Amino acid sequence: MSVIQPVLDRIDQNLDQSLERLFALLRIKSISTDPVFKADVREAAEWLVADLKTIGFEASVRDTTGHPMVVAHHEGPSPEAPHLLFYGHYDVQPVDPLELWHDDPFDPAVKELSPGRKVITGRGSSDDKGQLMLFVEACRAWKQVHGALPARITLLFEGEEESGSPSLKPFLKAHAAELKADFALVCDTGMWDAETPAISTGLRGLVGEEIVVKAADRDLHSGEFGGAAANPIRILAKVLADIHDEDGKVTIPGFYDGVEDTPSQILESWNGLGETAESFLGQVGLSIPSGEKGRSVLELTWARPTAEFNGIIGGYTGKGFKTVIASEASAKVSFRLVQKQNPDAVRAAFRDFVKARIPADCSVEFHPHGGSPAIQLSYDSPFLAKAKDALSDEWQKPAVMIAMGGSIPVVGDFQTFLGMESLLVGFGLSDDRIHSPNEKYELTSFHKGQRSWARILEALTR
């Protein structure tokens, strides 16, 4: 008799209740980057612990110097059974600008976008509460059907992923013995498209820096001082404008150290996916790639490093006009890293680049925000083939090997601190609007994602 079929059937039967559970989690405003929501973040952790206990996990909220971790363990069929660590994060991005949301970001619902296509709306529905609950629900169904789980399973749910994961490294170091498993399952990734499952084998790294340019010791009247006094917005604009050349390349000396060309066979397989600048950028109302000239959008977002400006502010930004020369202006700048780029070296090179452009009577402050190298997973790992087959069975379409433009620092940390490889499988779509207003998650992803994880569990423990 099939081990997996009754689990899949149970997942189907559980769907409505599993949605209710996800909604309860989505209603909690666990925005980690804004201290105002500190108590909400903890509430989400406590909610997860309570839910995991109902499945039989030994689960607890673990304090850190920042937001807490959730750690949960479940025994396997035997002490020699494979040990898997599943990672997700229960914190979410801020929701501003709130006025652009069609629905309350913290009052989730199922909406029918078009006949037969339903989505779950709300902040965190895709990134990452929805993805995280897939695995929890797969475990729940398995336990209900078989009274046990097929592997020793440890869950690690983080509450600081959207704010640079300051506590993650120390926590992994301090609890390495507890958390070390045969390998990790990481769910914070996406499908190729709504019908095609994917496994991610490459992830870009990230360096974040906030810079504050300071000029006069007070705000000045531009009539009185304009033409004589340094303007920090002008200095900042020059710094930012200098970072890219006419061909979209980053000009910071040493920035491309450690960047190798992607193998041609990989590029060819990506070209075979049929994505074009028009199809990729057309989703968001654009058409012209803004990165390095002569490369495809998939190469640009999956395998090339970038410098992005994530925020800028200075001077008078209210209604109307104020003829002021501000005393300071600031920008949030981030770099996506690939291959062997060193985050510390990139940060140092950027700071030198900025300092060289600050007039002698002005100053600049730097505030670091996270740093992680890129990850390149091997194409021939033993569990990759099994997972690929399990996904292909569920979706009735071959799973594809892709890369990801975003960073998932935990994958590098698992490698560094726990000596553990990761399998990256997720069911997000590129139009899920993660980090933006009107985030959603496909109901199909939520349903077939649970079934996919059950199949992967079965394949890995067969």
Work out which of 35, 115, 294, 419 binds its own copies, going by CB under 8 A: 35
The yes or no reply on residue 396 touching its own copies (CB under 8 A) is no
Which residues are 72's β-sheet partners? 59, 155
Alpha-helix runs per DSSP H in 104-219: 129-146, 168-174, 176-179
Both structure tokens of 14: 């559980």
Question: Could you count the other beta carbons within 10 Å of the beta carbon of residue 75?
Answer: 15
Interaction between residue 93 and its own copies (CB under 8 A): yes
**Spatial distance between the Cα atoms of 43 and 209, rounded to a whole number of angstroms:** 30
Q: How far is the CB of 407 from its own copies (least distance, A)?
A: 6
CB of 261 to its own copies, least distance (A): 15
Which of 65, 288, 380, 382 contacts its own copies by CB under 8 A?
288
- Nearer to its own copies among residue 284 and residue 385 (C-beta): 284
- Binds its own copies (CB under 8 A): choice among 33, 60, 376, 461: 33
Nearest to 312 by CA among 365, 248, 237, 242: 237
Residue 172: strand pairing partners: none
Joined tokens for residue 208:
């974040």
Instruction: Choose which of 316, 344, 348, 379 interacts with its own copies (CB under 8 A).
Output: 316
Q: Bridge-partner residues for 152, per DSSP? A: 83
Quote the least distance from Cβ 28 to its own copies, whole Å: 19
- Tell me the C-alpha distance between 333 and 310, whole Å: 6
For 159, 187, 327, the CA distances from 197, given in Å and listed in that order, are 27, 13, 51
Considering only 100, 109, 113, 385, the residue that binds its own copies (CB under 8 A) is 100
Q: Which stretch binds its own copies (CB under 8 A): 81-89, 133-141, 193-201, 315-323?
A: 315-323
Shortest Å distance, C-beta 435 to its own copies: 4
Site for its own copies, residues 204 to 263, rule: CB under 8 A: 204, 206, 208, 210, 215-231, 233-234, 236-238, 240-242, 244
Candidates 73, 175, 332, 397: give the one binding its own copies (CB under 8 A): 332
Q: How far is 170 from 240, CA to CA, in rounded Å? A: 34
Between 18 and 231, name the residue whose CB sits nearer to its own copies: 231
CA distances from 87 to 64, 104, 159, 161, 411 (A): 17, 28, 11, 11, 9
Q: Is 176 in the site for its own copies (CB under 8 A)?
A: no
How far apart, in whole angstroms, are the C-alpha atoms of residue 151 and residue 367? 43
Q: How far is the CB of 227 from its own copies (least distance, A)?
A: 4
Site membership for its own copies, residue 108 (CB under 8 A): no
> Smaller CB distance to its own copies: residue 170 or 311?
311
